[in-house]
Chains A and B, each alone.
Chain A
Amino acid sequence: AQSVTQLDSQVPVFEEAPVELRCNYSSSVSVYLFWYVQYPNQGLQLLLKYLSGSTLVKGINGFEAEFNKSQTSFHLRKPSVHISDTAEYFCAVSDGRSARQLTFGSGTQLTVLP
């Protein structure tokens, strides 16, 4: 079985400050890792994904994440946030065997303050 823990339910940050949203996972096999963003009253949109290869993954809107196998983490970072980044962010994991099924974390609400 696989699981995802997002350690912070809410993260307030001032505009142009850096941000890190934390995600830890557990799985007995190799995993694929994802970050999704949900803007208010909208569906989920993929920010970035790790399937294999380089552990530093770059996504859309200036976000990046680093896969750390030893710490079973996949933290999301952005060096300078904008008001428009205010949204709910979900970390998700899919294992290599039942690869069609995503397991989501509980989400982190990022609020960017002016």
Chain B
Amino acid sequence: DTAVSQTPKYLVTQMGNDKSIKCEQNLGHDTMYWYKQDSKKFLKIMFSYNNKELIINETVPNRFSPKSPDKAHLNLHINSLELGDSAVYFCASSQRTMDEAFFGQGTRLTVV
């Protein structure tokens, strides 16, 4: 019974393509996030989102956009993929008052 699930787990694509990564949480949390983990394992937040506000890390290129069809889902769309986008992308969610984030298994994106 996975709390935060992401698909796909692996994604290999060519430069210039557009791709999406899906994320779903069944914890009833009100806030979801996307993190990027680079090759040195450094984790950087990209977005945090609830039904009231989207907070974007200003260093994230506008080729990246989160889409939330409902409270349990936060998908990540990436346009015009570049080699430097290769990384592991983690989805996470948290409850408002607890601040503990639950993470998905990650999506390893490789741009060739």
Mutual binders A and B:
yes
- Measuring CB to CB, which residues of chain A are less than 8 angstroms from any residue of chain B? 32, 34, 36, 38, 42-46, 49, 51, 88, 90, 94, 98-104, 106-107, 109
Q: Give B9's nearest chain A residue, CB to CB.
A: A41
From 18 to 76 in chain B, residues with beta carbon under 8 angstroms from any chain A beta carbon are 31, 33, 40-45, 48, 50, 55
CB distance from A101 to the nearest CB of B (A): 5
Decide: A100 and B105 in contact? CB cutoff 8 A.
Answer: no
Interface centre among A38, A51, A100, A106 (most CB of B within 10 A): A100
Interface residues of B (CB under 8 A from A): 4, 31, 33, 40-45, 48, 50, 55, 90, 92, 94, 96, 99-106
Docked-complex contact B103 and A100, CB < 8 angstroms: no
Interface of chain B, helix or strand or loop or mixed?
Answer: strand
17 additional A-B pairs beyond A43-B103, A104-B42, beta carbons within 8 Å, are A38-B41, A42-B105, A43-B4, A43-B105, A44-B90, A44-B101, A44-B103, A46-B101, A46-B102, A49-B99, A49-B100, A102-B45, A102-B101, A104-B44, A106-B41, A106-B42, A107-B42
